[in-house]
Amino acid sequence: MKEFLLLIRSEEAPKANLSPEQLQAHIEKVGGFIKRLTEEGRMKSAQPLEMDGKILSYKNGKIIDGPYNETKEIISGYYHLLATDLEEAIEITKQDPRFEEGIWRIEIRPIKKVKGIN
Amino acid sequence: MTLYKNDSKKLTEHFFRNEYGKLVAVITQYIGSKNVETAEDIVQETLLKAVDHWQHSGIPKNPQAWLYTTAKNLTLNSINRKKHESNYLLNTLKKEHQLNPIEFSENLIMDGQLNMMFACCHPSISENSQIALILKILCGFSISEIANSFFTTNETINKRLVRGRKQLRKSNFDIRIIQNINDNVKIVLKTIYLLFNEGYYPSKKTTPFQYDLCLEAIRLTKLVIKSDHIKSKAECHALLALMYLNCSRFEARLDTADQTTIELPKQDRSLWNQDLIQLGIQQLQLATDENSVSKYLILATISAQHCIAKTYETTDWNSIVSLYDQLLSIENSPIIHLNKSVALSKTKGNKEAITQLLHLKTNSDIENHYLFHATLGELFKNEKQFKKAKSAYLKAINLTKNSRNIILLNKKINDLVPISKTQLL
């Protein structure tokens, strides 16, 4: 099994415009998806992220705030997934019912295993 | 949902929608009706928090309590923030609540929703805006869901809401003033009835009815009936009876093949929901306890007559005709005359019904309504005057905006043909 980090991307405050009915559907569908994968042992972790965080960088000898992205796109959550290879990870990700809402993008990144370390 | 394990808590249908209305109603009681929009924001935030938590860690044992605690904390935060910003919100807080801790008790939820319902139906607010406000604030519909229900645009609904909210902020309604509530019960019932009818007979739409709107109308009427503040409830029971009885025919009314309506004579009566009919009859009995006659009571009694008849032909048409006469003495409207004509054709014959309809045309604008021509077409067909029937159906098609009605009417025209083509020429 290989490990994958899935970055859930969206515009800022993605769910703000969903109606109560749509929010309930989201919990039921996406919640069910996460639960199933967790029970199958494929989902090691899945968490939403707060909207306000910090970006730090190093400039002119000191650590500074920023620079922040110009775009409105943010990472609003992540999945830590197990799959045999990238193809299977893609197939699993395609089953995420959140895609039906049309406001999400998911980036699938294999976690690099460096031999000899760990 | 099959993905869920048996031990996992499932949310009841429309849970968020219903809780939205309850939460907004209670919070508004604390922060004042001038701040309804703040209350709505707090509730939306509460639901968003629930989504983040529940989708990852499952639905809690008591989802309702979870929402109430979260909403309470967010409300307190909001009040504290505003305290720092200005005294604006603080000044609008009701004094007695400033001292009490916020709680979501059964009573407060009931009263809050009722208060909100009456505030939304304030006579200074137009009917269109009343319905939009009720659906948005009390029923948890989004703007686009309301727009879809009424086959209009988001902008139109938004305008109705903005106008409605303006009045809402002005009217500080309080149900604890008993005079207020009893003066306005009729308006509230009328708005609920309009909401129900929009679900039952959509004016312009592509599906034959919208069950959601009818269910909300029933839910709101039950809320009114539960309240101790209302003295006379006969009319409320009558309206609830009418809605239950009409809803009992939902399944039989839908032609699943082409999503059109199946009319009463052709419905499969075994599909009628006997539980709903029973509920309707119970309410009807409660409605007659007070010995007062209302429009809803007569309409419900007519609906009940249909519900208890074994077949269309053996319906007690004489009773129905006299019920329509009673109704006309309360509200002399051309639509009621039109409906009566169908019953009249069963007791006095099609010719008499046609004569009355043609007379009705001369002293009202009923001619502009597609149902007038559709009914006339039906009567002509029964009299085997197929040419006149066809021309009436064609006029009806020209007047309806509902594409399902057009399909239905075209079906009727096609049904005329096989009998005898020469009769159409």
Summarised one tens digit per residue, pLDDT across range B343-362 is 999 999 999 999 999 999 88
Q: Name, in order, each residue with C-beta under 8 angstroms of A63's C-beta and a sequence gap of 6 or more.
A: A56, A57
Contact of A16 with chain B, judged by CB distance below 8 Å, is answered with yes
Are B56 and A46 an interchain contact pair (Cβ–Cβ within 8 Å)? yes
Mutate which: B9, B16, B18, B144, vs A, most A CBs within 10 A: B16
- Model pLDDT, residue B111: 87
Residues of A whose CB is below 8 A from B6:
none
pLDDT score for B164:
93
The Cα B279–Cα B264 span in angstroms is 20
Q: Which has more confidence, B204 or A40?
A: A40
Report the DSSP beta bridge partners of residue A74.
A10
**Contact status of A73 with chain B (Cβ, < 8 Å):** no
Beta carbons of A117 and A36 less than 8 angstroms apart: no
Q: Which residue does chain A place closest to B15, by CA atoms?
A: A24
The distance of Cα B200 from the centroid of its chain, to the nearest Å, equals 8
Nearest CA in chain B to A48: B52
Q: How far apart are the first and last CA of chain B?
A: 58
Q: Could you tell me the CA-to-CA distances from B294 to B201, B237, B238 in Å, in that order?
A: 21, 11, 8
Is pLDDT larger for residue B148 or for residue B220? B220
Question: With bands split at pLDDT 50, 70 and 90, how would you rate the model's confidence at B26?
Answer: very high
Q: Can you tell me the mean pLDDT for A66-91? A: 90
Nearest to A20 among B4, B20, B59 (CB): B20
Cβ–Cβ below 8 Å for A21 and B58: no
Residues B200, B246 contacting (CB under 8 angstroms): yes
Measured between CB atoms, does A87 come within 8 Å of chain B? no
List residues in chain B touching A: CB distance below 8 A. 1, 3-5, 8, 10-11, 14-17, 19-20, 44, 47-48, 50-52, 54-56, 58-59, 140-142, 144-145
Q: What is the average pLDDT across B48-62?
A: 91
Q: Determine whether the interchain pair B3/A20 forms a contact, defined as Cβ–Cβ distance below 8 Å.
A: no
How many other C-beta atoms lie within 10 A of the C-beta of residue B235?
Answer: 21
Do A23 and B58 count as a contact with CB atoms less than 8 A apart? no
Q: Rounded to a whole number, what is the distance in Å from the CA of A62 to chain B's nearest CA? A: 35
pLDDT at residue B424 greater than cutoff 60: no
Best of A8, A18, A21 to mutate (most B CBs within 10 Å, chain B): A21
Residue A23 touches partner B, C-beta closer than 8 Å: yes
- Collapsed DSSP state (helix, strand, coil) of residue B172: coil
What value does the mean pLDDT take over residues B278-285? 96
**What mean pLDDT do residues B123-149 have?**
90
Helices (H), B32-62: 36-57
**Least confident range of A94-108, B87-101, B115-129, B262-276:** B87-101
* Rounded-to-integer distance, Cα A97 and Cα B207, Å: 26
Distance to chain A for B277, nearest Cα, Å: 29
CA-CA distance, B2 to A24, in Å (whole number)? 16
Whether residue B1 has pLDDT greater than 70? no
Q: What is the pLDDT of residue B217?
A: 93
Mean pLDDT of B365-369: 87
User: Which of B3, B12, B42, B66 is the best residue to mutate to test the A interface, defined by the most A CB atoms within 10 Å of its own CB?
Assistant: B3
pLDDT confidence tier of residue B4, bands split at 50, 70 and 90: very low
Chain B residue closest in CA terms to A13: B48
Instruction: Please tell me the pTM assigned to this model.
Output: 0.79
- With CB atoms and an 8 Å threshold, state whether A35 touches B4: yes
B33-68: b or e for each residue (b if 16 or more CB lie within 10 Å)? bbbbebbbbbbbbbbbbbbbbbbbebbeeebeebbb
Structure tokens at B218: 């029933």
* Amino acid in position A23: L
Structural contact between residues A24 and B48, judged by C-beta atoms closer than 8 angstroms:
no
Residue of A nearest to B9 (CA): A28
Phi-psi region of B259 (alpha: psi -120 to 50; beta: other; left: phi over 0): left
Q: What's the whole-number mean pLDDT along residues A47-66?
A: 89
Rounded average pLDDT over B114-131 = 90
**Which residues face A3 on adjacent strands?**
A82
Chain B contact present for A32, CB below 8 A: yes
Q: How confident is the model at residue B2 (pLDDT cuts 50, 70, 90)?
A: very low
Contacts A33 to B, Cβ<8 Å: 3
> Could B3 and A36 be called an inter-chain contact, meaning their C-beta atoms sit closer than 8 Å?
yes
Q: Is the pLDDT higher at B86 or at B310? A: B310
Measured between its terminal Cα atoms, the distance across chain A in Å is 17
Cβ-defined contact of A19 to B8 (cutoff 8 Å)? no
Cβ atoms < 10 Å from Cβ of B381? 21
Tell me the residue type at B363.
Answer: N
Mean of all residue pLDDT scores within chain B: 86
CA distance B171 to A87: 61
Encoded amino acid at B117, one letter: M
Q: Nearest Cβ partner of A24 from B4, B16, B52?
A: B16
Across B169-178, B343-352, B402-411, which has the greatest mean pLDDT?
A: B343-352
Of all residues in chain A, the one with the smallest CA distance to B139 is: A20
Searching chain A, which residue's CA lies closest to the CA of residue B10?
A28
Tokens coding B67:
């929402």
CB contact under 8 A, B3 and A33: yes
Q: Quick one: what percent of chain B has pLDDT higher than 90?
A: 53
Distance from CA of B3 to the nearest CA of A (A): 6
Which tens digit of pLDDT belongs to each residue from B235-281?
A: 999 999 999 999 999 889 888 887 778 889 999 999 999 999 999 99
Q: What is the pLDDT of residue B148?
A: 81
User: CB B92: neighbour CB atoms within 10 A?
Assistant: 15
Interior CA angle at B221 toward B233 and B118, to 5°? 85
Chain A residue at shortest CA distance from B53: A48
- Alpha-carbon distance A58 to A64, whole Å? 6
Give mean pLDDT, residues B164-180.
77
Compute the mean pLDDT over every residue in chain A, rounded to the nearest whole number. 91
- Interface residue A34 vs chain B (CB under 8 A): yes
Strand pairing category for B260-261 and A74-83: unpaired
Q: What is the predicted pLDDT for the residue at B203?
A: 62
Chain B residues inside the 8 Å CB shell of A16: 44, 48
Q: Who wins on pLDDT, B81 or B118?
A: B118
Say which of B11, B52, B141 has its CB closest to residue A24. B11
> DSSP for B71-113?
HHHHHHHHHHHHHHH-SHHHHHS-HHHHHSPP---HHHHHHHH
B54, A31 contact by CB (below 8 A):
yes
